[in-house]
Amino acid sequence: MRIAVYPGSFDPMTNGHLDIIKRAAKTFDKVYVAILTNSAKKPCFSLEQRIDWLTRATADLGNVEIDSFSGLLVNYANQIGASIIIKGLRAVSDFEYEFQMALTNRALSPNIETMFLMTNGKYSYLSSSIVKEIAKLGGSLSGLVPDFMIEEVKNEIKKNQ
Ligand code: PNS
């Protein structure tokens, strides 16, 4: 069984993330979407909220599980039996950091392979930071996050302002 882990902050999940999750779900037997809980970046949305959005967005994908982890990604991957780390690449600017992380993870755990999925072109500019910025400034989130999330993201941002 090919088990993959797709790690990230998902603060919040975007349609770019969802596109990668759907494609990974077609390629691997099981995909764990894993939210890092001890990030140096302070998240804008609670862990429960981020889990809820990911769970609802992936409800129709039977082989996707939402989880959270702390500490080293490779330790978590080994714990759940994942042999593949999935990363999405948007642009050359993502490459250097991802390259460094992939090599670090290989040095830490050579049995785990990092695989990159190129983003869908229409999401190449999209990031969680962009979504937060647009929501703060009152712009439209249509097409950037799933429709069911739009009002909830705006309301959460308002609460936190
Ligand atoms: O969505 P993000 O914030 O870009 O995701 C970053 C993430 C969670 C993939 C990365 O920070 C990570 O893997 N953290 C776990 C700590 C770790 O394993 N570090 C060593 C590899 S660099």
Q: Are 21 and 61 in contact (CB under 8 A)?
A: yes
CATH superfamily of 3-124: HUPs (3.40.50.620)
Give phi and psi for 49, each to the nearest 5: -65, -45
Tell me the average pLDDT across 91-112: 95
Q: Mean pLDDT throughout 71-78?
A: 98
pLDDT score for 82: 98
Q: How far is the CA of 143 from the centre of ligand 1 (A)?
A: 26
Residue 34 confidence (pLDDT): 98
Structure tokens at 88: 């999405």
Average pLDDT value for residue range 75-95: 95
| Per-chain mean pLDDT for the chain | 96
Q: Please say if the pLDDT value at position 40 is more than 90.
A: no
Of the pLDDT bands very low, low, confident and very high (cuts 50, 70, 90), residue 38 is confident
Q: Identify the residue whose C-alpha is closest to ligand 1 atom 14.
A: 73
Mean pLDDT of 124-149: 97
**Does 89 sit in the ligand 1 pocket, CB within 6 Å?**
no
Q: Which of 30, 50, 87, 90 is flagged as catalytic?
A: 90
Q: Which of 128, 131, 36, 48 is nearest to 85 (CA)?
A: 36
Q: Which of 36-40, 61-65, 147-151 is least confident?
A: 36-40
Q: Is 140 annotated in the active site?
A: no
Q: Is the pLDDT of residue 161 over 80?
A: no
Q: Establish whether residue 7 lines the binding site of ligand 1, counting it when its CB lies within 6 angstroms of any ligand atom.
A: yes
CA of residue 36 to ligand 1 center, whole Å? 7
Per-residue buried b or exposed e for 4-14, using 16+ beta carbons within 10 Å of the residue's own CB: bbbbbbbbbbb
Work out the average pLDDT over 26-33: 98
Atom of ligand 1 nearest to the CA of 39: 11
